[in-house]
Amino acid sequence: LLGFYKGILPPVLAETPKRAVKFFTFEQYKKLLGYVSLPPGLAFAVAGLGSGLTEAVVVNPFEVVKVTLQTNQNAFTEQPSSFVQAQQIIKTGGLGFQGLNKGLTATLGRHGVFNMVYFGFYFNVKNILPVNKDPNLEFLRKFGIGLVSGTIASIINIPFDVAKSRIQGPQPVPGEIKYRTCFKTMGTVYKEEGFLALYKGLLPKIMRLGPGGAVMLLVYEYVYAWLQDTI
């Protein structure tokens, strides 16, 4: 059973600062874009792109450690701890693109595209659809928009996710690096496995980030409003 939870510590450690960075930088980029004459709809998308790129830089080292642990086929009790695994990665590959920041370009693409669609779609559609006076219906309205936002963003960004997994995961031939850069990896996957291979894992991704994206936005909005009223 514990095999399903391999690599759980890195995402647990990463999620709190990752989400904080996502929403904090989104608000900051949104304020900065207020000085530029951009249509509000486009400003939300650009601010989301900026927050995604910033988030990717923060989260990528955790992703490298997580993927390395998850692809370790030893029993849960036999594999190294997250800290030891990070030390091993730094020792063999350093802090650069062959070590703790392997696959950074793919992670930048994954988070940048996701957040651009996620925030852009959510806030634009939310401003178009009329607000419900009934709090329960308003909650459902926001949840529905968030669910669709997370789903669409997952569908659009998954090729970057596939590329990231190939680059950060074990290579097909030990000692030989087949997957190096983001777009080259996408091209290799497309050429060897077909177009649909770029969408492998789409269903579990949607199951995770569709409702997860809705919950995240709702918690953010309601907690943010509560803090504004309270503090």
CB atoms within 10 A of CB 129: 12
Q: How many angstroms separate the CA atoms of 8 and 161, rounded?
A: 18
Q: Is the pLDDT of residue 199 over 80?
A: yes
What six digits make up the tokens of 75? Answer: 């029993």
Q: What is the pLDDT of residue 3?
A: 82
Q: What is the pLDDT of residue 219?
A: 92
Highest mean pLDDT, choosing among 78-92, 161-175, 190-204: 190-204
Q: How many angstroms separate the CA atoms of 125 and 145, rounded?
A: 7
- Kindly state the DSSP code that residue 36 receives in the 8-state scheme: S
> Which amino acid belongs to residue 96?
G
> At the fourth CATH level, which superfamily is domain 2-200?
Mitochondrial carrier domain (1.50.40.10)
Indicate the pTM of the whole model: 0.84
Q: Can you spell out the DSSP letters for 158-213? A: HHHHHHHHHHHS--SSTT-----SHHHHHHHHHHHH-GGGGGTTHHHHHHHHHHHH
Spans of all domains in the chain: 2-200
How many angstroms from the chain centroid is the CA of residue 47?
Answer: 15
Give the up-direction half-sphere exposure of residue 123: CA atoms within 13 A in the CB hemisphere: 21
Q: Is 79 helix (H, G, I), strand (E, B) or coil?
A: coil
Q: What is the pLDDT of residue 44?
A: 93
39-86 pLDDT per residue, tens: 888 999 999 999 999 999 988 998 888 888 888 777 666 777 778 888
In 3D, which of 123, 113, 118, 115 has the Cα closest to residue 39? 123
Q: In the chain, what's the furthest Cα-to-Cα distance?
A: 62
